[in-house]
Structure 1
Amino acid sequence: MTEPDLFAPEAVVVGQPKRSKWRTYRGPALAVSTVEGTPLAEVTDIDHTHFVLARTSGEVVVRIEKRSWIGPFQQFGPVRFRFTDGADREIGAAGARGLIKSLQLSLRTEPGRQLLLTRLNPASVEWRLTETDPGSGGPPPEILGRVTVSTVDPWIGLQQYDVEMTPRLDASERRTFVASVVCLHLIRRPPGEGSAPA
């Protein structure tokens, strides 16, 4: 039986797998599935700066390297993410800056297309994928995708991201978009920290 294509669906769910509050969790950091719940991929946290998005078969799809400014005020500095494939070839990037970094991520796809993943205000649970900045004052940009976040387990604070993509995104752009949702989660919920999401 062949694996479902990770980047064929126009909607996927990226979320923290359920776990027990009373036992040490040793599973993947995040899981990617179809809206119906069919597993597609998992994200493994290697060392809090390197993450691997791999299909359920184990095939590496994207390696994510997190780079941030080192220093006493690290939380105020920019954060950069580098995306590489299984052969260590660069296939995209994402970056965020500012005090509330989860307001906007700048994305670069493998072909070099520049995209923005933006939420309009800090209280919003929806991010929109566009080519131009929605806050620039010009005409409203075309929405190429959406990410809606919800808390699926208030007791532990597990997060789920519903990702919708338009047909205008090709497979490589969808790959960058899904990887950027992983980055969004890492910015909102740093590994090993129990702080409230940003």
Structure 2
Amino acid sequence: MTQPGLFEREAVVVEQPRRSWWRRHTGPDLTVSSLDGIPLALVTHIDDTLSVLTEVSGEYVVRIDRRSRSGPFEQFAPTRFHFVDAAGREVGTAGARGLVKTRQLSLRTERGRRLFLTRLGNLGLEWHLTEPDPETDPETDEGPAAGILGRVTVSTVDRWFGLQRYVVETDPALDVSERRTVVASVVCLHLLRRPPGGNGPA
């Protein structure tokens, strides 16, 4: 029986791989696997502005470009992530605003569908995936609707290193390209919470 592909699965796990105190970690920055632990993909952070998602076979899946305004008020400026496929086409985006950028990510899929990934409470470790209310101002992207299309639940798998694990569950109605945007946005969420080279906010 053929196993479903990376973005055909309704649930995957994005997590930081375990590491040793005694050796420098040289593996991927994040892994993507099935709920039962089958490895599916790897994420490597090239630098603070570029991450690459590849299948475990090494096949290129998507590049994540981070763009934000630099300067004295950088922490207040919006941050945008652009998802680019192997052919160089933009296949989705994610954006965050405000001082606490992990409160909500505004997503746009390859086909232009707008979604929100919204944190439940300021200290919550669960985010809900929703569509914007039809009455929402498209220029401000404010106010997600109540219908839940998925959820992201975060846990710490290693207290010493603070390694993070994200369980990503999506509605069966989402297609492959939409799930690609959601999984890539979870990588962005991790980058906002735990930037390379630092622990970042929880």
Shorter-chain TM range is over 0.9
- Describe how 1:17-36 pairs up with structure 2 within 5 A: 17-36=17-36
**Where does structure 1 lack aligned partners over 5 or more consecutive residues?**
none
- Describe how 1:47-196 pairs up with structure 2 within 5 A: 47-132=47-132, 136=143, 141-195=146-200
Give the length in aligned residue pairs. 195
2: CA distance, partners of 1:12 / 1:47 = 25
Identity of aligned residues (%): 64
Secondary structure class of the residue paired with 1:46: strand
Partner deviation per Cα, 1:20-68 (whole Å, 9 max, x = no partner): 1232111111000000000000001112211111101111111000011
Given that residues 55 and 61 in structure 1 are in contact (C-alpha distance below 8 angstroms), is that contact kept between their aligned partners in structure 2? yes
Normalised TM-score (structure 2) = 0.91
Flag the structure with higher strand content.
2
**Where does structure 2 lack aligned partners over 5 or more consecutive residues?**
134-141
| AA of the residue aligned to 2:189 | L
| AA of the residue aligned to 1:147 | V
Given that residues 69 and 79 in structure 1 are in contact (C-alpha distance below 8 angstroms), is that contact kept between their aligned partners in structure 2? yes
RMSD in angstroms over aligned alpha carbons?
A: 1.9
Secondary structure class of the residue paired with 1:101: coil
| AA of the residue aligned to 1:48 | D
| AA of the residue aligned to 2:186 | V
